[in-house]
Amino acid sequence: MFDTEQCLLHVEHVWENVEARRGGALYQGNVRLELGEFLKQSGRGPVKRELERVLMGVFEKQFSA
């Protein structure tokens, strides 16, 4: 997401989890990270890999023009 007030790119993770063992309790939350902080995190899950692929495509097009 793009924060137009701060001119920053963010990655936002929103989740819901139903805990069956606790009578169907619903847990919800979200975390918003600035793009650079998200990319610095360890691990390469599917969301991070896809974001890196998209960003590389943007920059490749920009530099090849």
Residues 48-62: pLDDT tens digits? Answer: 889 889 888 888 877
Over 70: is that where the pLDDT of 33 sits? yes
Amino acid at 9: L
Across 14-20, average pLDDT: 86
What is the pLDDT, as a whole number, of residue 3? 85
Average pLDDT over all residues of the chain: 85
| Whether the Cβ atoms of residue 40 and residue 23 lie closer than 8 Å to each other | no
CB of 3 closer than 8 Å to CB of 33: no
| pLDDT recorded at residue 25 | 84
DSSP track, the chain: -EETTTTEEEEEEEEEEEEGGGTSEEEEEEEEEEHHHHHHSS---HHHHHHHHHHHHHHHHHHH-
> What average pLDDT score do residues 26-54 get?
88
The residue among 63 and 12 whose pLDDT is bigger is 12
